[in-house]
Amino acid sequence: MIFNSPQFLLFLAVVFALYWAPLTATGKHRIPVLLLASYVFYGWWDPRFLVLILFSSYFNYRMGIALAEGRDDRTKDRLILVTLVVNLGLLFFFKYFNFFVDSFQLALGMESSWVLHIALPVGISFYTFQSLGYCLDVYNDDQEPERDLPVFFTFVAFFPLLLAGPIERAKDLLPQLSAPRPYRRAQLVEGLRLLLIGAFKKMVIADRFAPMADTIFSNPDLFGGMVAALGVVFFAVEIYADFSAYSDIARGAAKLLGIDLTRNFDRPYFSTSLAEFWTRWHITLNTWFRDYVFTPLNYSMRSRGMLGVMFAITITFLLSGLWHGPRWTFVLWGLFLGLFMALELAFEKRMVRWPKALRWALTMGVILCSMILFKAQDLSKAVEFAGRICTTGNDPVFLVKRILSYTELTPIAFAMTLLLGAGLFVLDGWTARPDFIPTLERRPLLRYSGYAGLLLLVIFFGVYVDQKAFIYFQF
């Protein structure tokens, strides 16, 4: 059951009706409704996954209480070590075991034959980090332990964010789940608006750019350097539209239930530095790594000054790359970005005096280069594609015709796709303005015309074009 499916719309409508129905005077039925809905949603993928999330939820629930009641620092240190080993051990076993076994056998010149045939539970990286962040906050005395079992289980399994985030902090989400929430029409309107914008980004933009990016990345030998570079741009638009769409739909679904989730994207492609970019892209994951990985590392190496900070940044991004998946391309992607982040920090005082346009161009250049590693299935393909970008020749008109033939797009459809991609950034710019919502409220004709146009595009592409799963489901 993916967000861009009719089944999810029906599921969300049923949950909305049951959640707000006056079944109890105090609204105490809402947590059971949310918890049951979340397990139905997750079990829809594979009922076997429920065993793991139930274990993870109960283990972290008990560890949170134990950490709060620890008699002394030594006891708490042992408890947090057990918490880290169990959570990261489960993540390692299901997501990385075969990857490291394969790599070890390859390093020894052995045939890669001894692997486990295990299914990767969807969303395991996200709910593991959310649960682990809760326990670390309790350990650091930044969070009181949640003693209401159903509320904590709902915190871990809340269906809008379960598969691909945002990775919420306990201090932000747990109070919203525990406190009674009256129904407000404004929440319904805002939730529906986010759902519509998310559906537009995914079904109209991301899924239109995907076949063009896939075609170019899969057949780099057919195209010259200019088109190969264009393929990277296509993928950059695709992945941003795809993942920000998921976040918008997650926030919209939660808003319908009176719950506010963290905004996960904030116009990242307008950034003029890498540091700024990572405060705008996948905000909740990068905040998690900043607080729980970079900050402790940086503190432990504070005596080494700037070198210590640069080392902490590089290791943090390396681990972030590994978090994305069991592939060496992801590891190198994280290392590549970490090294450039460290260099940017070293030259920060000089760079702030450079023209803003130059800083933006350099930032986007590094991000787009990193996209090659992120998109490629293995290192050899990444190297081949990067080499292709450095080539010249080939008639651009001929190459565009070849793209159209491989993707089965007409010239008009191709041009419309490019215009819609540009429209994504216009939409982002509008929605980020403080006066955007008030302006819409004052101009109902403009508001309803815009919504109707987005809805028609979503319906058209939803009916006549096959939809793809969200990219971040694989992580």
The chain-wide mean pLDDT, for the chain, equals 86
3-state secondary structure the chain: CCCCCHHHHHHHHHHHHHHHCCCCCCCCCHHHHHHHHHHHHHHCCCCCHHHHHHHHHHHHHHHHHHHHCCCCHHHHHHHHHHHHHHHHHHHHHHHHHHHHHHHHHHHCCCCCCCCCCCCCCCCHHHHHHHHHHHHHHHHCCCCCCCCCHHHHHHHHHCCCCCCCCCCCCHHHHHHHHHCCCCCCHHHHHHHHHHHHHHHHHHHHHHHHHHHHHHHHHHCHHHCCHHHHHHHHHHHHHHHHHHHHHHHHHHHHHHHHCCCCCCCCCCCHHHCCCHHHHCCCCCHHHHHHHHHHHHHHHHHHCHHHHHHHHHHHHHHHHHHHHHHHCCCHHHHHHHHHHHHHHHHHHHCHHHHCCCCHHHHHHHHHHHHHHHHHHHHCCCHHHHHHHHHHHCCCCCCHHHHHHHHHHHHCCCHHHHHHHHHHHHHHHHHHHHHHCCCHHHHHHHCHHHHHHHHHHHHHHHHHHHHHCCCCCCHHHHC
Q: How many CB atoms lie within 10 A of CB 387?
A: 12
Q: Say what percent of the chain tops pLDDT 70.
A: 85
407 or 362: which leads in pLDDT: 362
Burial of 353 (0-12, 13-18, 19+ CB in 10 A): exposed
Q: Would you state the structure tokens that stand for residue 157, as one six-digit string?
A: 């399994």
Catalytic residue among 29, 117, 282, 324: 324
Is 199 within 8 Å of 4 (Cβ atoms)?
yes
For the chain, what are the domain ranges? Answer: 6-183, 187-474
Claim: this prediction has a pTM higher than 0.85: yes
What confidence tens digit (pLDDT) does each residue in 37-51 have? 999 999 998 888 999
Decide if 324 is catalytic: yes
- Name which of 147-151, 184-188, 199-203, 390-394 the model is least confident about: 390-394
Identify the pLDDT of residue 183. 85
Q: Would you state the structure tokens that stand for residue 332, as one six-digit string?
A: 């190198």
What confidence tens digit (pLDDT) does each residue in 67-108 have? 999 878 899 999 999 999 999 999 998 888 877 777 777 766
Identify the pLDDT of residue 160. 94
Contacts of 69 (CB under 8 A, 6+ apart): none
User: Does residue 404 carry a pLDDT above 90?
Assistant: no
Contacts of 225 (CB under 8 A, 6+ apart): 388, 389, 390, 391, 392, 393
Most confident of 15-24, 276-285, 417-426: 276-285
What confidence tens digit (pLDDT) does each residue in 242-297 have? 999 999 999 999 999 999 999 999 889 999 999 999 999 999 999 999 999 999 99
Identify the pLDDT of residue 461. 73
